[in-house]
Amino acid sequence: MHDIEPHFLWRDLYIASEDRHSPFFRRQYDEFHFTQKVYNYYIHPQWDNLGSTTLYGKALFVDYEEGYAILELIGEWNDCLHNDIEALKRNLIDPMIRKGIYRYILVCESVFNFHADDADYYEEWWDDIKEENGWVCLLNTEQHVYEEIRYRRLDHYIHVGPHFNDVIWRPRRPELVYLAVNQLIHTQVKLVN
């Protein structure tokens, strides 16, 4: 896992440690000392600690004018043992909501397991953003991750599923990723209604 780096090709557009509104403002990274772990596996030092021992992330891009953020996650999303959704919501999402971010793209291709518990924080997140036409979308989840989310009915609060698993996001610019996901969400909403 130590070889998996957060996406870095947008660093010419956005760096969370240089964003005065970011919870990671002025964070310094050490490229040579691997100190963070998911269980017994060290992870790359560029990942940010979200307040969990199993789930780490990176704010890849934030557009305050358009009100959206693209975040990348790595590890095990474990609400049962570590209440990772609370850590994510309180330490990263709440500060972003206060700055006007209401639409979230979470790249989850490096989230290897998901263990759900209560839906309270997902419902709270939805309540915090719905008045502003906000949404949360998980991209490129593993099948078993999607199945657990759906089984626990968390898909009432977040957009997730096979139609969001074929989004090719890495070679694109962040604004094009946002537009593609936004269009998919609105197409999905029309199909459901």
Domain segments of the chain as ranges = 16-192
pLDDT for 30: 79
Helix (H, G, I), strand (E, B) or coil at 111: strand
Looking at the chain, the whole-number percentage of residues with pLDDT higher than 90 is: 80
Q: Do the beta carbons of residue 71 and residue 108 sit within 8 Å? A: no
Q: Is the pLDDT confidence value at 191 over 70?
A: no
Give the Cα separation of 42 and 138 in Å (integer): 24
Measure the CA angle with vertex 182, ends 83 and 190; round to 5°: 100
Percent of the chain with pLDDT strictly greater than 70: 97
> To the nearest whole number, what is the mean pLDDT of the chain?
93
What's domain 16-192's superfamily in CATH? STAS domain (3.30.750.24)
- Angle (CA) 79-80-84 rounded to 5° is 25
Task: Look at residue 32 and tell me whether its pLDDT is greater than 80.
Answer: no
Residues 6+ apart with CB under 8 A from 31: 45, 46
